[in-house]
Copies of this chain bind each other. A is one copy, B any other.
């Protein structure tokens, strides 16, 4: 598939023509339709403007609906809006830049996160130099229509420093003067902080064999114990349903099951991101979960 065009602009500094080729290399991540409605969005849908082929490609026509979306964004006095790239599987905020009308149009049509560089006064697609593209699965606008999320899957590290994301400097760490560790500390949400803690325990086993004991280390060193714990925690989770125990008990047992399973994942060198990628591919198409699961039974 080839998409080529020149976007008209209302507020961006100068016209940009673009040509996106070989889109067949980047199949649409979710070829089925999804549902939504608008809540106080003030957006009135117009005629259909996207055709999705029966295969894996999508052809975007730059018609009135497409233009209406671009017009609906509240571009600032410089023709820009904030654009945040987020990892669709982990939720990590990868980077933040700015988009003008053309950058948003190119992102929507090419499905590669594209920004407007204020320093170079030009469009740039993340990955055009490093090849670490951010493959966009969905694009969200906020309630005020002046902030954009590019929800996508990065091909590799996003930061120009080689870090996974651009956010690795904690203000509170600086204030505390914590410098015990030579590793960077990425902004991580709960699940990935836990994953990092488990990895750290494994490293400590290798580098500090006489370091302080820990339950995680004990599990990492004793497969039999670990397997019996995973089985036991699954049983306890089930029991909260069968015995109609309270919600807190269920949350606690699920937390136990998740933690012990993640220790097992560490031993197998499997990341939660890989697990979530499996889930996304399995569940992103309507009805797929049923088909897959029924096949198993």
A282's nearest neighbour on chain B, judged by CB, is B255
Is the CB–CB distance between A89 and B174 below 8 Å? Answer: no
Contacts of A294 in B (CB 8 A): 215
Interface hits, A231-267 → B, CB 8 Å: 231, 233-235, 237-238, 240-242, 247, 250-252, 254-255, 257-259, 261, 264-265, 267
User: What's the least CB distance linking A134 to chain B, in Å?
Assistant: 14
- Between A143, A185, A292, the greatest number of chain B beta carbons within 10 A of the residue's beta carbon is seen for A143
B147 contacts A96, C-beta separation under 8 Å: yes
**Smallest Cβ distance from A252 to chain B, in angstroms?**
6
A276: min CB distance to chain B, Å? 4
Given that A181-B35, A184-B36 are known contacts, is A257 also in contact with B261, CB under 8 Å in the complex?
A: yes
Q: Are B269 and A247 in contact (CB under 8 A)?
A: yes
Which residues of chain A (215-230) have a CB below 8 Å from chain B?
215-216, 223, 226-227, 230
Residue of B nearest to A87 (CB): B189
User: Which applies to chain A's interface (DSSP): helix, strand, loop or mixed?
Assistant: mixed
A268 touches B247 (CB 8 A): yes
Taking CB atoms, residues of chain B closer than 8 Å to A176 are: 33-34, 48, 50, 52
Q: Which of B142, B183, B226, B234 makes the CB contact (< 8 A) with A167? A: B142
Chain B residues near A191 (CB, 8 Å)? 276, 279
Are the C-beta atoms of A179 and B270 separated by less than 8 Å?
A: no
From A92, which residue of chain B is reached at the shortest CB distance? B91
Q: Does A113 contact B (CB under 8 A)?
A: no
A208 at the interface (CB under 8 A from B): no
Interface-lining segment among A8-16, A19-27, A39-47, A125-133? A39-47
B88 near A290: Cβ-Cβ < 8 Å: no
Whether B264 pairs with A238 at a CB distance below 8 angstroms is yes
Interface size bracket, A side? 35 or more
Inside 8 A of A6's CB, which chain B residues have their CB? none
Do residues A268 and B255 form an inter-chain contact, with CB atoms below 8 A? no
Q: Is A4 positioned at the interface, with any CB of B under 8 Å from its CB?
A: no
Q: Judge whether A139 is part of the interface by a CB distance below 8 angstroms.
A: yes
**B171 lies within 8 A of A69 (CB):** yes
Q: Which residues of B contact A147 (CB under 8 A)?
A: 95-96, 166-167
Chain A 86-103 interface mask (CB, 8 Å, partner B; 1/0): 111111110110000000
Please indicate the chain B residues that have their CB under 8 angstroms from the CB of A214 in the complex: 287, 289-290
**A123 in contact (CB, < 8 A):** no
Contacts of A86 in B (CB 8 A): 91, 93, 187, 189
User: Shortest 4 CB-CB distances between A and B: which pairs?
Assistant: A91-B91, A215-B293, A35-B181, A234-B234
- Contacts A138-B187, A223-B241, A254-B275 aside, 17 further interface pairs with beta carbons under 8 A come to A36-B183, A37-B181, A39-B161, A41-B169, A48-B177, A69-B175, A84-B93, A140-B170, A140-B187, A142-B169, A190-B277, A191-B279, A227-B241, A231-B235, A252-B278, A254-B270, A254-B278
